[in-house]
């Protein structure tokens, strides 16, 4: 092995350094200035990389950084996870803080084995699933931000936009000429036009037509600036109504992020890369399961007395709503006392429940919204799945009544029934492996 002196200075520096670099932090999530905000609340998504170490290195303060971390602050926690703010601060120390909040949340989420899906589009199918754009989402900009974007990124691109419109006009004229030739029965294809053959008069007339057709103008501008899609307007004007009824794909209404804007993080948020939930869990003793393994959710907030607000559940570190539809969570026709007996703590706060009220639910899917928040969808589970989950976790086993297997009735011809009675047809099992009693009689 060559020594550090016999290699280049760069290689020697990499060999002696204990950490190459840390990725830059993400922008912090936007917080509304309201009374509900808290400085100690867990952020919707992590902004810095989480670093962990082994138990042996943790005892010596070795986290792979430039200098060892103090044992007094790193050995008290049961989860060795930190996030570094600065490797070298002004005081020549490593500025770090615990990161067990997001680290444990990631582990809990991966235990549920649910896929990350895109937000559903109630107006139709998700034709466009693109989530990253060069331009901003105009509906989310203030007046000052919009003016700043126009001055910085739009005004100096007029020449490029005119060239872009010439290309679109040439393509439109070629398609119109080709269609006219087909309708007239001409065999020779017309000569195609390019951008250089478009005159200023033709471009000016094209711009005048675009000013009267605002949806088409917005489509061309959004293509040129690569703007994030915007949902259709809420008002029912004749202009927009005519455009959406004739050509519904003029504006990308099928994009799932058109209503609330594109997400500030990746659509998966780094939580899971499962693309579907179409799998079947197979229990080693009970066989294939109709329901996936349920999880025990904590009742964070009970249902409001007037029904204006539903109950909130805590599932794997995330807050979600109770399952909708006709289920035990939504029994409006029965009294509150009966609902409290079936699902304690869901309708009213019950301090007598040890450890807080908990219910079993089945996690179905998760979605990351435009603000970077993870929204989990849960469903109602059956009565047997929680017992199986408790047994797998080391709880009491499920009592199983062993019933004798009924004898098989041989429904065949007379010769087949005689052979079956004589014992020539032997069913295989773990003891015989398909052998007859004579084959099992080994010589002594």
* pLDDT tens digits for range 271-308: 888 888 888 888 888 889 888 889 999 998 887 766 66
Question: Is the pLDDT reported for residue 376 higher than 60?
Answer: yes
CATH class, domain 282-392, is mainly beta
Residue 96 gets the label, from left (phi > 0), alpha (psi -120 to 50) or beta, of: beta
Confidence of residue 249 (pLDDT cuts 50, 70, 90): very low
Closest CA to 380 of 300, 302, 291: 291
User: What is the rounded distance in angstroms from the CA atom of residue 279 to the CA atom of residue 291?
Assistant: 10
Question: pTM score > 0.75 for this model?
Answer: no
Q: Taking the CB of residue 15, how many other CB atoms lie within 10 A of it?
A: 11
- For residue 184, with 0-12 CB atoms within 10 Å meaning exposed, 13-18 middle and 19 or more buried, which class applies? exposed
| 8 Å CB contact between 282 and 291 | no
Question: Is the pLDDT reported for residue 137 higher than 70?
Answer: yes
**What are residue 169's phi and psi, to 5 degrees?**
-65, -40
Instruction: Please list the residue range(s) of the chain that carry CATH number 2.40.50.
Output: 282-392
Confidence of residue 394 (pLDDT cuts 50, 70, 90): confident
| Orientation angle between helical segments 200-212 and 158-184, nearest 10 degrees | 90
Question: Is the pLDDT reported for residue 159 higher than 70?
Answer: yes
Residue 71 or residue 397, greater confidence: 71
User: What is the rounded distance in angstroms from the CA atom of residue 53 to the CA atom of residue 58?
Assistant: 6
User: What is the per-residue pLDDT for 145?
Assistant: 92
Q: What percent of the chain has pLDDT over 90?
A: 23
111: helix, strand or coil: helix
281: helix, strand or coil: coil
Q: What percent of the chain has pLDDT over 70?
A: 74
User: What is the per-residue pLDDT for 422?
Assistant: 47
Owner of token pair 């089945």 = 362
Handedness of CA 233, 239, 244, 245 (dihedral sign): positive
What's the pLDDT tens digit per position in 6-41? 778 877 776 666 556 778 888 887 766 554 667 777
Residue 95 or residue 413, greater confidence: 95
Average pLDDT of the segment spanning 196-207: 90
| 8 Å CB contact between 58 and 80 | yes
Question: Is the pLDDT reported for residue 127 higher than 90?
Answer: no
């Amino acid at each position: 092995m060559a020594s550090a002196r016999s290699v280049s200075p760069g290689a020697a520096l990499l060999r002696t350094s204990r950490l190459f670099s840390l990725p830059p932090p993400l922008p912090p999530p936007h917080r509304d200035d309201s009374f509900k905000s808290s400085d100690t609340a867990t952020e919707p998504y992590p902004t810095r990389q989480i670093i962990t170490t082994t138990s042996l290195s943790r005892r010596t303060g070795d986290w792979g950084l430039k200098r060892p971390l103090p044992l007094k602050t790193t050995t008290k926690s049961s989860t060795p996870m930190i996030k570094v703010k600065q490797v070298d601060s002004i005081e020549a120390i490593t500025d770090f803080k615990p990161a067990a909040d997001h680290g444990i949340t990631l582990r809990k989420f991966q235990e549920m084995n649910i896929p990350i899906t895109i937000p559903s589009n109630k107006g139709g199918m998700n034709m466009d699933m693109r989530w990253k754009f060069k331009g901003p989402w105009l509906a989310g900009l203030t007046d000052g931000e919009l003016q700043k974007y126009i001055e910085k990124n739009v005004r100096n691109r007029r020449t490029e936009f005119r060239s872009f419109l010439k290309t679109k006009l040439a393509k439109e004229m070629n398609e119109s000429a080709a269609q006219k030739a087909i309708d007239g029965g001409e065999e020779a294809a017309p000569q195609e036009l390019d951008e250089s053959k478009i005159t200023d008069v033709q471009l000016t007339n094209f711009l005048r037509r675009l000013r009267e057709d605002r949806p088409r103008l917005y489509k061309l501008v959004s293509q040129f600036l690569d703007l994030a899609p915007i949902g259709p307007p809420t008002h029912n004007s004749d202009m927009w109504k005519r455009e959406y009824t004739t050509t519904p794909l003029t504006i990308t209404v099928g994009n799932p992020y058109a209503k609330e804007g594109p997400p500030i993080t990746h659509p998966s948020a780094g939580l899971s890369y499962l693309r579907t939930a179409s799998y079947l869990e197979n229990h080693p003793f009970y066989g294939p399961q109709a329901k996936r393994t349920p999880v025990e959710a904590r009742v964070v907030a009970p249902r409001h007395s007037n029904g204006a607000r539903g109950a909130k559940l805590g599932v794997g570190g995330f807050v979600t709503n109770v399952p909708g539809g006709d289920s035990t969570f939504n029994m409006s026709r029965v009294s509150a006392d009966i609902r409290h007996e079936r699902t304690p703590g869901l309708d009213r706060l019950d301090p007598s429940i040890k450890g807080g009220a908990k219910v079993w639910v089945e996690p179905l899917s998760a979605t990351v919204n435009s603000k970077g928040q993870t929204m989990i969808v849960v469903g109602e589970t059956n009565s047997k799945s929680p017992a199986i989950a408790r047994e797998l976790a080391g709880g009491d086993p499920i009592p199983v009544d062993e019933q004798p297997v009924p004898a098989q009735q041989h429904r065949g011809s007379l010769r087949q029934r005689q052979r079956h009675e004589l014992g020539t047809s032997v069913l295989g099992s773990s003891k015989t492996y398909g052998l007859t009693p004579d084959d099992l009689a080994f010589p002594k």
